[in-house]
Amino acid sequence: MEHVLLLLMFFIPMLGLANGTDTEQDFTWHLKKVPQIVSERTFSLESPKFEAKTKLELNSVCGIECQRKLPVPSLSDLKDILSYETVFENGTRTLTEVNVLGLMLDPSENMTTRTSSRKKRQIYGTDSRFSIYDKRFMTSFPFNTAVKISTGCSGILISPKHVLTAAHCLHNGKDYVKGSKKLRVGLMKMKSKGNGRKRKGAKRSRREASETQDDPEVVTELRRHSKSVGKKQRRSGRKQGTSDGMPAFQWTRVKSTQIPRGWFKGVSGDIALDYDYAVLELKRPHKRKYMELGISPTIKMMPRSMIHFSGFDNDRSGQLVYRFCSISDESNDLFYQYCDAESGSTGSGVYLRLKEPNKQKWKRKIIAVYSGHQWVDVNGEQQDYNVAVRITPVKYAQICFWIHGNDENCTQG
């Protein structure tokens, strides 16, 4: 496999993009000025009960057509929606009211659509997911940014001390879920084997894996390796996920969680899927590379409209599961897609890779949070999608504010 990776490193500059008509300029991270989120006042709330059940599937949420008809939120609405609750490790809770400065509301930003009409479950036809067994990929960026949340979801590292996940992994819209009172985050680590000495060239292999991961040839190699390991395990009678070399978790306590008030309120009184995101602050920092935030581009600004995410699907216990697919439709706040995913992958960071401005390097950034399988209204009928919450400029500003505690490092996304 090392030879394959080395060959790919040589050929990637020659491969270009899939259809040969897309230019590098078309797929660049465009810097955008983001609004400022400013804290106005913080006051204490009653401690939550932590009695809600985790709800992995949300029914009757505002669908695609509903999303398009929603008015652009006013400044007053946004101030209310982006105010947020913080729950601390000792169970105390606060509400912080915010102001939004430098906001440019553009009512013309409604998305063009490409609607599919498919009616299936979380796995759409042939299961296109594959588990990552090779240690060189599993311990390399971007795969090692995926984390497991103790309530049963996934998340992604976004700073040395912060994790991004879905709000409904912690709160069902009425109360905090059971288990979130003593919330923990599991970071992948490899089980020790042998004398612990690194194989010569391992560092180089991890770097090559990182740089080539999004290319079709590497995806093919990952899938081939995944199937090969699965066959060997079945022959030996071992369950997948229990063999040497599979990841264990280093569990870290969560110091505080922050959830936007928009998740609790909703635009129409229902759960607001648009704000299904939350940030967890770890009690102690980790020492691994994390994924940077990015502002979600429109479908036409993505190579092949392709997104990627990795998480810990419940039907593949103990395994890190990677998938990628094209987006089927979009609204101002949501991506609708058919990436194969099962419960447990909810909260995963959805990312893509674009060129950095005025540079030759490609860079991955998180542009959405995978919310899970949802039933939505389409043409008056219930239809199912796997849905991700887009990181818009105001959401970028809010999440960045949560990370840094100020807006000085959050002026451009």
Side chain identity at residue 329, one-letter code? D
Is residue 14 domain-resident? Answer: no
Per residue in 259-302, pLDDT tens?
Answer: 999 998 754 455 468 899 999 999 999 988 999 999 998 888 88
Identity of the amino acid at 385: Y
Residue 365 near residue 413 (C-beta atoms within 8 A): no
Average pLDDT value for residue range 377-385: 73
Look at residue 142 and tell me if it is in a domain: yes
Residue 163 inside a domain? The answer is yes
CATH code, domain carrying 152: 2.40.10.10
Instruction: Let me know if residue 11 belongs to a domain.
Output: no
Q: Assess if residue 3 is contained within a domain.
A: no
pLDDT at 202: 41
Q: Which pLDDT value is given to residue 220?
A: 52
- C-beta separation of 245 from 133 below 8 A: yes
Residue 13 lies in a domain: no
In a domain, 219, yes or no: yes
Residue 152 is part of which domain span?
Answer: 21-191+204-404
Number of domains into which the chain is organized = 1
Alpha-carbon 347 to chain mean position = 6
Q: Does a structural domain hold residue 150?
A: yes
User: Which band of pLDDT confidence, cut at 50, 70 and 90, is reported for residue 361?
Assistant: confident
Mean pLDDT of the chain: 75
In this prediction, residue 201 carries a pLDDT of 42
- Lowest model confidence (mean pLDDT) among 49-53, 158-162, 233-237, 338-342: 233-237
Residue-level pLDDT at 372: 82
